[in-house]
Structure 1
Amino acid sequence: MFFKSQMSSKLLSWMVAGLSLVIAFYGLANVMPAIGDFRLGPFPLVEFRASFFALCVVTIALGACLKYCQGETSLLNAIISFIFLFVMLYCCWSFYLVSSELDEGMFLFGANEMWIAVLASLGALYFCWRIWGIPVALLGVVGILYMATGQYWPGPLQTVSHDVNETLAQNLLYSLDTGILGSTFAIVITTVFPFIILGALLEGVGAGDSMIRIAFHWMRKTAGGPAHAAVLSSALFGTVSGSAVGNVVGTGVITIPMIKRRGFSANFAGAVEASASTGGQIMPPIMGAAALVMADFVGVNYMTVIVAVLVPSIAYYASLFAMIVFESRRLGITSSAEVTGVDAPLKQDYLNLLLIFVPLVIIVCLLLYGLSPSGASITALAALFPLSLINPEIRRKPIKLIQSLQVGGRTFAGLLMAIAAVSIVISALSATGVPVKFSVLLASIVSNSLLISLIIAAFCCIVLGMGMPTLPAYVTVATIAIPAMEQLGLSALTSHMFVFFIAVGSVITPPVAIAAFAAASISGGGPIGTSVQASKVGIMIFVIPFTFAFNPMLLTVAQSGVSFDLLVWSWLIIKLVVGILLLATALTGFHSHKLAWYEIIGRLIAAIMLFAPNPVWDLVGIIGALLLWAWHKRQGFNMGRRLKGVD
C-alpha cells in the first residue's frame, strides 16, 4: 500500500475518486425531496450517520496514502492515517450497535465505550489537523481534556462531579444530539452538503474563466482596472464557491499578476484579492457554510438570512471599490483601455453566465416559494446538468460533470473532519455549562455596555478564527458569546450575524490569515504585509457588524428586532456611504490630493461618529465630514493656484 509505485498510485486514485462520488450520491440521496411516490431518503439516522462518516474517513485515509505515493506527504502520515482508518471504522460500527440499543432502552456506558469514543475523536482530530491545521484540532483536544478533568479546575471553570466514562462516551460519540455524529453533523449534512456539491458543480461547468474575462472587460477603463476586475470576479465567484481560500486560488492566479502589472504593490495586489475573495462568504445567495448553519441556529428560513445580509454585503464590496479608487489616485495610476493577458469575452462567455445565474435564480425563487435550502439546491443541481450542455467543453467532455461531483465529495469529507472538531468543542461547552458561566461573567464585567460586549465577542472570533475555517470559528464563538449579547438587547439574528461577519473577516487578520497567505503565495508579497494590507483594504467587514449591531434596521428584516422604516433605513444607507468614503480616504491618505495627518484623524473621528447610534453623533459626523471635504477642496484649489503661479 505504501510503496511508491505507479500501479498503487493509480489504484488509490481510482478508489478515492470512486468513494468521493459515492459520498456525493449517498449524501444527496439522503436529502433528496420526494418525486411523486418515489423517495430515497432520509435514511434511518443511526445507520446513515455511521455509514456516511465511515465513507468520509475511508476517503481521507486513502487520500493520505495516495499523497504519499505521489510524494506529497510523509510515510509516517500515511501509516498513521491507515491505522486510524481501521480504528475509526470499528468506532463507527460500535456507534451503530450502541445507538441501536439506546433506541430500544437504557444502556450503561463503561470504560470500553469511553475509550472507543476517545479514539474516534482523536482520529477525527488527527485528520482535521492534517487538512485544516493545528488550531481547530487543538480546540478539540482542549474540549476532551476539559470534559474529563473539569471537576478539578479552579474557580468558575470548575464543573460538577460526574461519571467520566458516561460523560465522554455520550458527549463524544454515542449520541444523536451531541458529539461528532450529533446535531451539528445533522445540520451540515441536511443543509450545507447539497450546496457544497452545487458549488463544486458550478465551478466545474466552466463559467469561472468566462466570469473573469467579462469582469476584466467591464472594468478595463477604470483606473484600478485589474483590481476592480478582481473585486467583481471574486464577488461573482463567491456566490458560487462560498470559500475564501478557494476563491483566492480560483481567481487570484489571473487577477493578482495583472494588478501588479498595472502598478500596484505585490502586497496590495494580494490584499485586494484576499479581501474580495473573503467577501464571497457573505455574498448571497449561496454564501459560506456558516450562513446555512446560522439559519438553523437562529430558527429562521434561509431566505431571511439572504435578505438580511444583502445590504451589508453590497456595502462591503462598495468599500473595496472605494479603497482601490483612492489607492489608484495616490499612486497616480490612470485608466487604460488596454487589457493584456486576458482575452476579450466572446458570445459563448456571456452564454456561460447562464450556468451561474439560472441555478442561483432557481434557488432564490424556490426559497421564496417556501422550499428548504436543501430542496432548492438539489433542484438547481438537477437543472444544471442539462443546462451545462450549452458549454461546448462540457459537450465534448461530459465526464467533467462527474469529476465535479467527485471534487464536491472530497471537499465535504475534509469539511466533515472540521465539523467533528467543532462538535467536540460544542459538546464540551454544553456538558460543562461554560456558555452560561461566560454569559454571567461577561454581564458582571461589562454591566450594560453593549459596545464592550461586542468588542470581546469580536476579539474571540478573530483569535479563534486564526488558521481555522469560518464555520468552526463562528460556531464556537456563537456558542459562548451570543447568550451574553442577547441579554444586552440584541436579537438572535443580529447577534449571530455579528459573529458570522467577524468570523468571516478572521481569514484576513494577522498573524494567521489563511486567505491573505494564499494570496501572498501568488503575488510574491510578504504574508504578514499582505494580511496587514488586506485588513486595511477590507476594514469594513469589521466595521459593518458594529454598525448593524447598533442599527439593526440595516438588516431590513423584522427578525433583526426592529420594525422597518423606509426613512430611517435610507438615512442609515446615506451614513454608511459617507462613512465608507471617509474611511477609504483616511486609510489611503489620499482624496483629490494627499491628506495631512490632522485630516486623516478628523476623517476617522467623523466616520466613528456616523457609525454611532445616537442622532447627535450622526449630526456631528455629517457636519464634520462636510467641513473636512470643504477644507480639502479649498486646499486643492490653493495648490492649483500656486502651481499656476509657478508656471
Structure 2
Amino acid sequence: MADQAAHQGAMQRNILLVIGFFFALLGFFNALPDLGPIRSPFGIIGAETLHPLVLAIGLVIATISISRFSSNPRDVAVTGFNFTLLVAGLYALYDYNVAMIELNEGLFFFDARHAWISVIGCIIILYFCWRLWGLPLAIVGAVTLLYFFFGENAPGILGHAGSDFIEDTPPELWYNTGDGVLGKILGILIGTIFPFIIMGAVLEGTGGGHSMIKLSFHAMRRFRGGPAHAAIMASSLFGTISGSAVSNVVGTGVITIPMIKKRGFSPAFAGGVEATASTGGQIMPPIMGAAALVMADFIELDYLLIITAAIIPAMAYYASLFTTVVFEARSLNVGETAESEMDPITGQDWINLILVVVPITTVVFCLIAGFSAAGSAMIALSILLVISFLNPEMRKRPLTVAEAFARGGTTFGRLLMAISTVGIIVAVLGATGLPLEFAKVISQSAGDNLLVALIFAALAALALGMGMPTLPAYLTIIIILGPALTSLGLTDLAAHFFVFYFGVASAITPPVAMAAFAAASISGGGAIGTAVAATRIGIVIFAIPFMFAFNPEMLLVAEGGAEFAMGPFLYMIVRLMLLIYMLASAASRFDKARMPAWEALARAAVGLALISPVIAISGAAIVASAALIFLHYTVLNRKEATA
C-alpha cells in the first residue's frame, strides 16, 4: 500500500514537473521581446490570448497539486470534483478569449450567460486559492465578491450604488483587461514577475544556496551568536530572490535552525531569527521578492529608483537583527563557534557562490544598461542555466537543472491562484469605489494628523496581510490604503513602501504569522512562541516605515521636485542608528547586563521619539538615549567594582 502511494506521489510530481517545464518555457519566450532585437519565435502574444492561456495552465497545475490519485473513495470523489471545476474554469477562460477578440473587432453585448460564467470563474479561483494558500486570502476574496453583489445594503460608507447582474458583472469581474481577474495585475505578473520566479527556482536548485549558508557560518564564526548571525546573512541574500518568506524559511531553516539551537539559543528564538531574516529578504534589494517590480509598474517609477530607495531601510532592518542577536548572546553567555562544529569550506563552495553573485549582479548591470526588468531577468537566467554546471553535482545529473527550471513554472502556477484572487478584490474595489471611501474615513478620523493615519494604516495592513503571501498582501493593502496615505501628503513611493513593509511584517506577527509558523515546525519551539519571539527580534521593522514616512530623505530618492540634502540625511542616520540600538536592547531587556522593566520601557519610548522630524523632539531623544546608555554602563561598572 505504501509502495503504491509512493508510486502515485512520484507520478504526480513528474506530471507537475513536465507541465511546469513547458510553462516556464512559455514564460521565458514571452519575455524575449523585452531584450530588444531578439524576438520570441511565437511572436508577441496578445493579452486577450496570453492571459487566459497562462491562467489555464495555472489551473491545471493547481488541480493536479491538490488532487490525490488513489482508489480511496474519498480521494476519487474529491479529485473528480477538482477536475470538474478545472473543466468549468477552462471553459470560462476560453469564453473570455472569444469574447475579448469579438470586443476588439466591433460591438459586443453581454448577456446572462456571460454573467454566470464570470461568477463561476471567480468561485473556481477562490476554491483553488483556498486549497493552495489557506483560508485567509480566500475568505477576503469571497467576502469581497459578496460585497460586489450585496454591498448596496451594507451600512454607512460600506454601502455602494449597486450593480446590475447582467450589465455590470461580466465587464467588471471577468471580461476586462483593466481591473478584472485577467487584467493588468495578471499582466504584470506574467510579463515581469514570472522570469524572476523561474530564476529563483533555478538558483535554489543548483547548489548555490547551501554553499552560501556554509560561507556565512564561517564569516560569522568569530561572533558570539555565530549561527544566528549566519542565518541572518544567508537568508537576506537568498530571500531577496526566492519571493516567499515561507519558502525561504524552509529552504535555509533546515540547516540554520538546528545550528542556532546547538549554540544554546532557545528553540523559539532560533525559529524567530530564521523567520525574521527570511521575511526581511522581501525588502532586500535588488530583487525584493519581485514586489519591487510590481511597485515600479504601479507608481511608474524606474526600477532602479525603487531598489535605491530600499537600500537604507533594508540595511537598518538587518542591522537591528544583528544587534538583537548580540544582546541575546550576551544574556545567554554564548561563546564563539569552534572550528570543529563547522563544516569545512571547500573550493567548490566558493565556485558555487558564483551561482548566487553572478545572476544578481547581472540583473543590476542590465537594469543600469537600460534593459527592462523582465529582459534583465532573462539575461541573468540564461547565464545561470549555463554556469550552474560549474557545480559537479549538476554535471553528474543535468536533469537537476531542468527540474529546478520546471519548479519555477509550478511555483508560478500556484501563485496565480493567489494573484487571481487579488484580481477579484481589485475588480470589486474598483467597481464600488470602497478604497476612496475608506481613505475619507481615515482622513476624517485622523484629521490632518499623519501619525494617526499611519497608525490606522499600519494596523489595517497587518490585519489584511495575515496569512497572505507577500506579493498579494502588498497589492491588496496598497489598493485599499494607498489613497488615504497620499491624501495626507505622503508621496506615492513612501506610501507604497509603508504598506509594503507592514505587509511583509505580517508574516511574523501573531496570530497568523506564516513565516514564524514554518520556522516553528523546524525548531519545535511552538507556533505562537516562535511568532512572539520573531516579533520581538524584528521589532524595528514596525518602526522603519514611520521613520521614512516622516523622514523621506531615508529613501534617497527626491520626489516632487525636492532636492536631496546631505545635512538632514546625516542627522537621520545618527537617529536611525540610535533607534536600532534603543529598540533592540529594549526588546531584549539586555545590553551589557539585564535591565529592569522601567529602563526597557524608557529605551523604547526614547527610540520611538527619535523618529520625529521635529529637531526639538528628536534632539532631546538623542540626549536621552545617550543618558540611558551612560547610566546603564555606569551602574554596571559600579556593581562590578563592588562585587
Same fold (TM over 0.5): yes
Distance 2:38 2:263 in 1: 59
Distance 1:642 1:93 in 2: 82
Aligned to 1:51: 53
1:586-601, aligned counterparts within 5 Å? 586-601=586-601
Answer yes or no: is the 8 Å Cα contact 2:32–2:378 preserved in 1. yes
Shift of 1:105: 2.1
Aligned to 1:442: 442
Deviates more, 1:207-216 or 1:14-23: 14-23
Aligned to 1:365: 365
Shift of 1:374: 0.2
For 1:555, give the aligned amino acid: L
1:64 to 56, 63, 66: 66
Aligned to 2:90: 89
Shift of 1:63: 2.5
Q: Which runs of 5+ in 2 are unaligned?
A: none
- Determine helix, strand or coil for the equivalent of 2:17: helix
- Determine helix, strand or coil for the equivalent of 1:160: coil
Aligned to 1:535: 535
For 1:185, give the aligned amino acid: L
Query: Deviations along 1:249-284, whole A, 9 cap, x unmatched?
Result: 011111111111111111111100000000011111
1:107-186, aligned counterparts within 5 Å? 107-186=108-187
Distance 1:598 1:442 in 2: 34
For 2:275, give the aligned amino acid: A
Answer yes or no: is the 8 Å Cα contact 1:493–1:560 preserved in 2. no
Shift of 1:10: 5.4
Answer yes or no: is the 8 Å Cα contact 1:170–1:178 preserved in 2. no
Answer yes or no: is the 8 Å Cα contact 1:552–1:560 preserved in 2. no
Aligned to 2:461: 461
Distance 1:70 1:467 in 2: 33
Do residues 306 (structure 1) and 285 (structure 2) align? no
Change (3 A) 1:606 1:229: same
Aligned to 1:549: 549
Change (3 A) 1:560 1:586: farther
Change (3 A) 1:268 1:339: farther
Aligned to 2:475: 475
Query: Deviations along 1:56-84, whole A, 9 cap, x unmatched?
Result: 1112212323x44499x955542321111
Change (3 A) 1:142 1:560: farther
Distance 2:309 2:519 in 1: 29
Do residues 223 (structure 1) and 239 (structure 2) align? no
Answer yes or no: is the 8 Å Cα contact 1:88–1:120 preserved in 2. yes
Do residues 386 (structure 1) and 381 (structure 2) align? no
Shift of 1:345: 1.2
For 1:391, give the aligned amino acid: N
Change (3 A) 1:15 1:135: same
Aligned to 2:15: 15
Shift of 1:31: 1.8
Do residues 632 (structure 1) and 632 (structure 2) align? yes
Change (3 A) 1:62 1:37: closer
Distance 1:13 1:26 in 2: 20
Shift of 1:115: 0.9
Aligned to 1:333: 334
Answer yes or no: is the 8 Å Cα contact 1:490–1:561 preserved in 2. no
Answer yes or no: is the 8 Å Cα contact 1:268–1:533 preserved in 2. yes
Query: Deviations along 1:455-508, whole A, 9 cap, x unmatched?
Result: 111111111111111122211111111111111111000100111111001000
Answer yes or no: is the 8 Å Cα contact 1:204–1:400 preserved in 2. yes
Distance 2:96 2:40 in 1: 26
Aligned to 1:42: 44
TM-score by length of 1: 0.95
Distance 2:318 2:484 in 1: 30
Distance 1:318 1:131 in 2: 34
Answer yes or no: is the 8 Å Cα contact 1:101–1:107 preserved in 2. yes
Answer yes or no: is the 8 Å Cα contact 1:285–1:306 preserved in 2. yes
Answer yes or no: is the 8 Å Cα contact 2:66–2:131 preserved in 1. no
Answer yes or no: is the 8 Å Cα contact 2:30–2:40 preserved in 1. no
Aligned to 1:578: 578
Answer yes or no: is the 8 Å Cα contact 2:299–2:492 preserved in 1. yes
For 1:90, give the aligned amino acid: Y
Shift of 1:527: 0.5
Do residues 319 (structure 1) and 327 (structure 2) align? no
Aligned to 1:409: 409
Query: Deviations along 1:156-209, whole A, 9 cap, x unmatched?
Result: 222224322222212221111122111110011111111001111111121111
Change (3 A) 1:244 1:561: farther
Distance 1:320 1:515 in 2: 16
Distance 1:139 1:313 in 2: 29
C-alpha RMSD of matched pairs (Å): 1.8
Answer yes or no: is the 8 Å Cα contact 2:253–2:522 preserved in 1. yes
TM-score by length of 2: 0.96
For 1:517, give the aligned amino acid: F
- Determine helix, strand or coil for the equivalent of 2:507: helix
For 2:287, give the aligned amino acid: I
Q: Which runs of 5+ in 1 are unaligned?
A: none
For 1:44, give the aligned amino acid: G
Distance 1:245 1:6 in 2: 26
- Determine helix, strand or coil for the equivalent of 1:559: coil
Answer yes or no: is the 8 Å Cα contact 1:241–1:247 preserved in 2. yes
Aligned to 2:24: 24
- Determine helix, strand or coil for the equivalent of 2:506: helix
Distance 2:340 2:428 in 1: 54
Distance 2:321 2:340 in 1: 21
Aligned to 1:267: 268
- Determine helix, strand or coil for the equivalent of 2:610: helix
Answer yes or no: is the 8 Å Cα contact 1:552–1:561 preserved in 2. no
Change (3 A) 1:260 1:94: same
Query: Deviations along 1:442-465, whole A, 9 cap, x unmatched?
Result: 212211011111111111111111
For 2:256, give the aligned amino acid: T
Change (3 A) 1:156 1:133: same
For 1:633, give the aligned amino acid: Y
Answer yes or no: is the 8 Å Cα contact 1:285–1:364 preserved in 2. yes
